[in-house]
């Protein structure tokens, strides 16, 4: 068990004012067997009208609209989460599992994915073992390199390239699992340290979601805080916006997670 | 007064229809062409007893389809019970994961259903396809009837033809039934849409606001119509004539500029009705069509009153075998296509095309359905003083209130090409009025 202090800080800077700005944020860690939210503070600027909701993937969302012109959009979420190691997340909506078993546009199979799929040995019987084989195959195939892929890069494109970031690792792993009809989902979240947000995958084994991190070739433990779930990255972006104005924009994202010093285990 | 007297007004009626703007826009190769939707004066006539039977079958079918969509985005019992294999849901393009767990106002998904039927030479009706997304076309026979009544009032006075000009009233009741409180709006993508005439005509007749995307805003969990002075009025029902994909850039295609950001979030909270419900495509997929009679049995415990055209799913080994053996007698349809596209006749393929198609079929069996070619009944059209037989189908409209209601008319579309079976308006066909007899 750990207590983790986190901060998700995002700033969008526009060169010229924009208006009629709509946003949906999935930046609030959810509660489950693996993590408990102890404290949470949210700051969003400028003022907006909107509300809270839970989407079809179980994510807590803040959505809103800023009518007036503005040059900066700021989201700052801080809080403390208590995480558990080696705990599977129990699925409470098993009837929705089907959607996680089939390819999406971003995780559709292609020639490069088939190659990895055929190379990976699947001796394992359990979902856990199969997941580990697939994770290893993905990890072995990829070279971590930021800047060569985009948010819209598909699993097949990333696999053909052989390079990418955590989102690409996750998408490729999802595609391969789905080829075996293993229900699996994309997880956006944070990892102890400083930098960008992270992404990994969860596989469902008899109603329990087990977390694999193909970027690091390991199981996700209590150093991970999950934020949003979906069939792929497109289902559950941490922040998503739509505004009027034809102008350049710069996005700064800073995520920090550190273990609370005064915590006792 | 004989029906033949009507024919002499053909040119005048078509001229008036054109003046009212009864047109059909078609995008082809990147250019927009607006063409008239040719109207033929000879109506399809359906006898009272025949229509009563159709009505029963249509109500039953739409009730089952509505129950199916509700089940799919809810508990999915039909999958659990093995009636429909889950790949037909999740591999299809119509399923929208965003709709999981969303129950629309009053549980209505299929507010307006357009069910396409054909009548075989033996007189038996067959369902050709279900349209549960944004079926268009009701306005055409409605305005044609209005004009024809003016050209020969006596004909309509002396014959007991059920008046079909009440469609707007039915539509209004359907919209009011699910309205969550506030105005009713018809949302149009604008005048370059193929069915813009219909959008404006229905708005006029139902008394709904005709709006484009940016006139509607989501605020504080509710939807508002913003008028020219900036005043905001609460909206309780949106009959949107925009496909799911473009409805809301924050929940579906983010590139959409014709939608309303966050309308789906408000709908999820139950604070506005969207007509028809997003996600209905899961039920009108050509692959799902095969399962509709099974759905009727499953949800209603009844046998289907109206038959499907005999359909085979190559997904099942047995059906694949049949399809390969009888390839030349079948029509093959790509389940992902609509509007008459992706339809090929086995008999019309060259050897090479056939070989290519069969290998595609074996690779992706779920992508196709095969059907017996129904030799459907011809209906005469009147052209340059002559009567010419043409293939025609019927789109029946079923509107959902507390119970499904069938509009006592329908859109009869005919193929202008004597050799073609494809009657879709987007393929250049024409239309007829549909007379349901009162006695």
| Low-confidence residues in chain A, pLDDT < 70 | 121-124, 262-265
Q: Quickly list DSSP for A159-181.
A: HHHTEE-HHHHHHHHHHHHHHTT
Among B219, B245, B247, B272, most A C-beta atoms within 10 A, so best to mutate, is B219
Structure token pair of residue B185: 């709006």
Residues of B with Cβ-Cβ distance to A18 under 8 angstroms? none
Instruction: Determine the pLDDT at residue B67.
Output: 98
- Check if the beta carbon of residue B181 is closer than 8 Å to that of residue B231: no
At the topology level, CATH places domain B310-372 in: Dna Ligase; domain 1 (3.30.1490)
If phi > 0 it is left, if psi is from -120 to 50 it is alpha, else beta; for residue A193 that is: left
How far, in Å, CA of B389 to CA of A135, rounded? 64
| First and final C-alpha spacing in chain B | 17
Percentage of chain B lying above the pLDDT 90 cut? 77
How far, in Å, CA of B121 to CA of B73, rounded? 39
Question: Which H or E element spans position B250?
Answer: none
Give the single-character DSSP code of B327.
G
Instruction: Determine the pLDDT at residue A121.
Output: 66
Check whether B283 has a pLDDT greater than 60. Answer: yes
Closest CB from B86, B101, B265 relative to A98 = B86
Question: Which H or E element spans position B387?
Answer: strand B386-400
Instruction: Determine the pLDDT at residue A247.
Output: 78
Instruction: Determine the pLDDT at residue B423.
Output: 65
Structure token pair of residue B389: 């037989």
- Check if the beta carbon of residue A230 is closer than 8 Å to that of residue A186: yes
Nearest to B413 by CA among B58, B47, B118: B118
Check whether B97 has a pLDDT greater than 70. Answer: yes
Query: What sign results for the dihedral spanned by CA atoms A179, A185, A191, A196?
Result: positive
How far, in Å, CA of A143 to CA of A102, rounded? 26
Q: B61-77 pLDDT, tens per residue?
A: 999 999 999 999 999 99
Is B217–A98 a contact, with Cβ atoms under 8 angstroms apart?
no
Residues of A with Cβ-Cβ distance to B268 under 8 angstroms? 53, 55
Radius of gyration of chain A (CA): 19
- Check if the beta carbon of residue B140 is closer than 8 Å to that of residue B412: no
Q: What is the mean pLDDT of chain B?
A: 92
Q: Between B339 and B267, whose confidence is greater? A: B267
Check whether B340 has a pLDDT greater than 80. Answer: no
- Check if the beta carbon of residue A183 is closer than 8 Å to that of residue A97: yes
Q: Which of A12-16, B62-66, B264-268, B422-426 comes out lowest in average pLDDT? A: B422-426
Is A51–B261 a contact, with Cβ atoms under 8 angstroms apart?
no
For chain A, say whether B87 makes contact (Cβ under 8 Å).
yes
Residues of B with Cβ-Cβ distance to A231 under 8 angstroms? 97
User: Which range scores top for mean pLDDT: A90-99, B199-208, B419-428?
Assistant: B199-208
Is A22–B90 a contact, with Cβ atoms under 8 angstroms apart?
no
Structure token pair of residue B170: 């039915």
CA distances from B341 to B195, B334, B337, B372 (A): 18, 8, 6, 18
ipTM value for the complex: 0.94
How far, in Å, CA of A214 to CA of A179, rounded? 17
Nearest to B97 by CA among A23, A57, A155: A57
The dihedrals phi and psi of B249, each to the nearest 5 degrees, come to -65, -20
Instruction: Determine the pLDDT at residue B27.
Output: 66
Q: A167-199 pLDDT, tens per residue?
A: 999 999 999 999 999 999 999 999 999 889 999
How far, in Å, CA of B320 to CA of A174, rounded? 31
Q: Is the peptide bond before B276 cis (omega within 30 degrees of 0)?
A: yes
Residues of B with Cβ-Cβ distance to A235 under 8 angstroms? 97-98
Nearest CA in chain A to B103: A56
Q: B390 pLDDT band (50/70/90 cuts)? A: very high
- Check if the beta carbon of residue A241 is closer than 8 Å to that of residue A21: yes
Is B249–A242 a contact, with Cβ atoms under 8 angstroms apart?
yes
Nearest CA in chain A to B261: A22
Angle, helices B167-178 vs B196-206, to 10°: value is 80
Q: Which residues 90-119 of B have a C-beta within 8 angstroms of A?
A: 90-91, 95, 97-102
Q: B8-32 pLDDT, tens per residue?
A: 899 999 999 988 888 776 666 777 7
CA distances from B77 to B63, B74, B85 (A): 16, 9, 12
SS3 assignment for A223-243: CEEEEEEECCHHHCCCEEEEE
Q: B48 pLDDT band (50/70/90 cuts)? A: very high
Nearest to B94 by CA among B59, B129, B133, B126: B133
Give the single-character DSSP code of B229.
T
- Check if the beta carbon of residue A10 is closer than 8 Å to that of residue A251: yes
Domains of chain A: 2-84+239-259 (2.60.40.2250), 89-235 (3.10.620.30)
- Check if the beta carbon of residue A48 is closer than 8 Å to that of residue A64: yes
How far, in Å, CA of A133 to CA of A227, rounded? 26
Alpha helices in B108-228 (DSSP H): 139-151, 153-158, 167-178, 196-206
- Check if the beta carbon of residue B329 is closer than 8 Å to that of residue B348: no
Q: Is the peptide bond before A46 cis (omega within 30 degrees of 0)?
A: yes
Check whether B266 has a pLDDT greater than 60. Answer: yes
How far, in Å, CA of A6 to CA of A194, rounded? 10
Check whether B427 has a pLDDT greater than 70. Answer: no
How far, in Å, CA of B118 to CA of B413, rounded? 10
Q: B347-386 pLDDT, tens per residue?
A: 999 999 999 999 999 998 988 999 998 888 899 999 888 8
Residues of B with Cβ-Cβ distance to A22 under 8 angstroms? 218, 249-250, 261-262
- Where are chain B's structural domains? 3-291+376-436, 310-372
- Check if the beta carbon of residue B34 is closer than 8 Å to that of residue B265: no
CA B412 to chain centre: 12
How far, in Å, CA of B356 to CA of B334, rounded? 14
Residues of A with Cβ-Cβ distance to B261 under 8 angstroms? 22, 65, 242
Q: Between B82 and B429, whose confidence is greater? A: B82
Give the single-character DSSP code of B57.
H
Instruction: Determine the pLDDT at residue B87.
Output: 92
């Amino acid at each position: 068990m750990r207590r983790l202090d986190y901060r998700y800080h995002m700033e969008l800077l526009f060169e010229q004012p924009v208006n009629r700005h709509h946003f949906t944020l999935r930046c609030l860690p959810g509660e489950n067997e693996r993590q408990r939210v102890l404290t949470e503070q949210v700051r969003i600027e400028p003022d907006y009208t909107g509300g809270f909701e839970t989407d079809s993937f179980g994510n807590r969302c803040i959505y809103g609209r800023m009518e007036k012109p503005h040059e900066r959009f700021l989201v700052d979420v801080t809080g403390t989460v208590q995480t558990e190691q080696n705990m599977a997340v129990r699925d409470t909506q098993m009837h929705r599992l089907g959607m996680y078993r089939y390819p999406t546009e971003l995780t559709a199979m292609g020639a490069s994915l088939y190659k990895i799929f055929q190379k990976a040995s699947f001796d394992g019987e359990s979902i856990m073992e199969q997941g580990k084989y697939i994770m290893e195959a993905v990890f072995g195939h990829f070279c971590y390199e930021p800047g060569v892929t985009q948010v819209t890069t598909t699993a097949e494109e990333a696999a053909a390239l052989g390079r990418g970031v955590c989102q690409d690792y996750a998408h490729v792993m999802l595609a391969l699992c789905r080829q075996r009809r293993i229900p699996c989902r994309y997880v956006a979240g944070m990892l102890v340290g400083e930098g960008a947000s992270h992404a990994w995958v969860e596989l469902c084994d008899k109603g329990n979601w087990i977390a694999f991190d193909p970027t690091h070739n390991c199981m996700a433990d209590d150093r991970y805080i999950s934020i949003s779930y979906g069939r792929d990255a497109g289902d559950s972006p941490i922040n998503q916006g739509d505004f009027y104005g034809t102008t350049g924009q710069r996005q700064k994202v800073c995520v920090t997670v550190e273990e609370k010093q005064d915590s006792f285990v | 007064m004989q029906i033949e007297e009507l024919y002499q007004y053909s040119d005048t009626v078509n001229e008036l229809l054109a003046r009212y703007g009864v047109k059909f826009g078609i995008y082809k190769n990147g250019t927009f062409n607006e063409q008239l939707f040719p109207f033929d004066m000879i109506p399809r006539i359906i006898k009272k007893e025949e229509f009563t039977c159709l009505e029963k079958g249509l109500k039953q079918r739409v009730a089952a389809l509505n129950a199916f969509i509700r089940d799919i985005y809810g508990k999915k019992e039909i999958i659990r019970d093995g009636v429909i294999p889950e790949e037909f849901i999740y591999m299809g393009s119509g399923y929208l994961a965003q709709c999981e767990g969303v129950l629309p106002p009053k549980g209505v998904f299929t507010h307006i259903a357009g069910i396409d039927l054909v009548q075989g030479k033996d007189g038996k009706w067959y369902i050709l396809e279900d349209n549960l997304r944004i079926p268009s076309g009701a306005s055409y026979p409605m305005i044609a009837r209005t004009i024809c009544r003016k050209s020969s009032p006596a004909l309509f006075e002396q014959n007991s033809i059920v008046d079909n000009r009440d469609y707007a009233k039915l539509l209004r009741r359907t919209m009011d039934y699910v309205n969550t409180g506030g105005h009713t709006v018809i949302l149009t993508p604008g005048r370059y849409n193929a069915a813009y005439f219909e959008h404006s005509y229905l708005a006029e007749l139902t008394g709904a606001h005709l709006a484009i995307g940016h006139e509607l805003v989501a605020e504080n969990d509710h939807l508002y119509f913003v008028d020219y002075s900036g005043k905001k009025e609460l909206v309780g029902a949106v009959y949107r004539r925009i496909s799911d994909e473009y409805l809301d850039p924050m929940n579906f295609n983010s590139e959409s500029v014709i939608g309303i950001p966050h309308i789906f979030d408000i709908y999820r909270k139950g604070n506005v009705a969207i007509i028809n419900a997003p996600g209905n495509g899961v039920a009108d997929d050509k692959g799902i069509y095969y399962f509709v009679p099974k759905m009727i049995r499953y949800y209603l415990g009844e046998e289907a009153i109206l038959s499907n055209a005999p359909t085979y799913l190559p997904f099942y080994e047995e059906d694949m075998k049949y399809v390969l053996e009888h390839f030349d007698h079948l029509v093959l349809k790509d389940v992902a296509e609509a509007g008459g596209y992706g339809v090929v006749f086995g008999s019309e393929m060259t050897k090479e095309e056939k070989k290519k198609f069969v290998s595609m079929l074996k690779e992706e069996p779920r992508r196709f359905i095969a059907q017996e070619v129904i030799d459907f009944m011809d209906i005469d059209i009147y052209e340059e003083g002559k009567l010419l037989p043409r293939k025609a189908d019927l789109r029946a409209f079923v509107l959902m209130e507390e119970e499904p209601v069938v509009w006592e008319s329908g859109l009869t579309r005919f193929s202008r090409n004597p050799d073609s079976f494809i009657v879709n308006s987007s393929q250049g066909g024409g239309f007829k009025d549909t007379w349901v007899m009162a006695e």
